[in-house]
C-alpha cells in the first residue's frame, strides 16, 4: 500500500463526506504517525439540545468520531445498537471527546443520553457507506 495516495486526500479531509471510492480496507494503518489525524465525524452539541447536523456521513470500517461541546450543558454521544462503542462525554464548553467504532455500511442513529436531551431532539443519523 502506498502512503503517498494519502497526501492527495489531506486537502479534502475536512469534508470526508461521501467519498465512497475504491478504498477497500481502510483502518489497517501500519504505523501511521501523521500526528493528529482528523476524525471522520465531528458532531457538535449545543445548548439547544441538538447536534449541529441532522446527518453525518463516513466510510465503513474504523470510524473515528469526535464530540465537541459548543454549549455549556453536558452532552454525550452513543450509537444506537452499537454496543462496542464507548460513550463519548463532554461536560463543559469546549470539551472534546473522541472514540472509534467499527461500522458496516448502513444508517445508524447517534444520540445524547443526558436525561431529556434525546427527547428534546438530540439525535442524528450517521450514514455509513
Ligand atoms: Cu445532550
Q: Ligand 1 centroid to 42 CA: how many Å?
A: 15
CB 45 within 8 A of CB 89: no
Q: Kindly list the protein residues that place their beta carbon closer than 5 angstroms to ligand 1, a single-atom ion.
A: 75, 112, 114, 117, 122
Q: Ligand 1 centroid to 40 CA: how many Å?
A: 20
Query: Torsions phi, psi of 8, nearest 5?
Result: -70, -20
Per-residue pLDDT of the chain (129 residues; tens, 9 = 90+): 455 445 444 444 444 444 444 444 444 444 445 567 899 999 999 999 999 999 999 999 999 999 999 999 999 999 999 999 999 999 999 999 999 999 999 999 999 999 999 999 999 999 999
What domains sit in the chain, N to C, each tagged with a CATH number?
39-128 (2.60.40.420)
Q: Ligand 1 centroid to 56 CA: how many Å?
A: 17
Q: Ligand 1 centroid to 78 CA: how many Å?
A: 11
Q: Ligand 1 centroid to 117 CA: how many Å?
A: 5
Q: Ligand 1 centroid to 58 CA: how many Å?
A: 22
Residues 6 or more apart from 125 whose CB is under 8 A from it?
54, 55, 56, 107, 108, 109, 110
Give the pLDDT of residue 36. 77
Q: Ligand 1 centroid to 89 CA: how many Å?
A: 9
Q: For residue 9, give the 3-state DSSP assignment.
A: helix
CA angle in degrees (0–180, nearest 5) for 57-83-66 = 40
Task: Look up the pTM and report it.
Answer: 0.72
Give the pLDDT of residue 34. 56
Amino acid at each position: 500500500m502506498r502512503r503517498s495516495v494519502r497526501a492527495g486526500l489531506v486537502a479534502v479531509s475536512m469534508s470526508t463526506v461521501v467519498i465512497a471510492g475504491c478504498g477497500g480496507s481502510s483502518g489497517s494503518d501500519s504505523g501511521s504517525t501523521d500526528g493528529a489525524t482528523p476524525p471522520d465525524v465531528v458532531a457538535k452539541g449545543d445548548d439547544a439540545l441538538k447536534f449541529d447536523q441532522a446527518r453525518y456521513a463516513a466510510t465503513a470500517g474504523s470510524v473515528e468520531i469526535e464530540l465537541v461541546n459548543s454549549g455549556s450543558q453536558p452532552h454525550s454521544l452513543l450509537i444506537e445498537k452499537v454496543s462496542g462503542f464507548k460513550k463519548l462525554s463532554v461536560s463543559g464548553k469546549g470539551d472534546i471527546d473522541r472514540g472509534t467504532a467499527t461500522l458496516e455500511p448502513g444508517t445508524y442513529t447517534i444520540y445524547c443520553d443526558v436525561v431529556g436531551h434525546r427527547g428534546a431532539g438530540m439525535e442524528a443519523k450517521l450514514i455509513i457507506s
